[in-house]
């Protein structure tokens, strides 16, 4: 069975999303436990594993996750590219992977070109 154009497009979009990260609006679609972690991470952008555990321990009992649940949630968020994991062992840091903002399509030479155009127009303008 061959892939339809829609299947190929969806795969391409999934790859782009994986490469670009997430946007804050995407968080609403997460399951409650993962959303809780992402909201905590968005406040700090980057946290050590130890700091995440400490923050989890300070949460009200109904909202708290045990270490196994927390580790699984962090693994899920990392594998789905919501978080970026850096380091090993005690030095593990997690960082939010926000979507890159589109850069300007104007080149650096734009301003030089604009200045030249203004200078040319001033030179060609009749004296006042």
pLDDT digits (tens, 9 = 90+) for 72-92: 999 999 988 889 999 887 789
* Amino acid 30: pLDDT: 85
Task: Please tell me the pTM assigned to this model.
Answer: 0.60
Non-local (6+) Cβ contacts of 33 within 8 A are 65, 69, 73
Instruction: Please report how the helices 67-79 and 32-44 are oriented relative to each other, as an axis angle in degrees rounded to 10.
Output: 80
Phi, psi of 18 (to 5 degrees): -60, -40
Distance, CA of 31 to CA of 69 (rounded, Å): 13
Write down the domain spans for the chain: 5-100
Q: Which residue has the higher pLDDT, 25 or 65?
A: 65
Fold of 5-100: Arc Repressor Mutant, subunit A (1.10.10)
């Amino acid at each position: 069975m061959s892939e339809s154009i829609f299947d190929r497009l969806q795969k391409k979009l999934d790859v782009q999303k994986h490469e670009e990260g997430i946007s804050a609006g995407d968080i609403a679609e997460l399951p409650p436990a993962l959303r809780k972690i992402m909201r905590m991470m968005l406040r700090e952008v980057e946290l050590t594993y130890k700091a995440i555990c400490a923050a989890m321990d300070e949460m009200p009992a109904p909202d708290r996750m045990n270490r196994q649940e927390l580790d699984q949630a962090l693994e899920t968020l990392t594998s789905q590219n919501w978080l970026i994991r850096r380091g090993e062992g005690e030095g593990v840091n997690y960082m939010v992977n926000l979507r890159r903002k589109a850069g300007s399509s104007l080149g650096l030479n734009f301003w030089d070109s604009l200045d030249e155009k203004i200078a040319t127009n001033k030179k060609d303008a009749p004296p006042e």
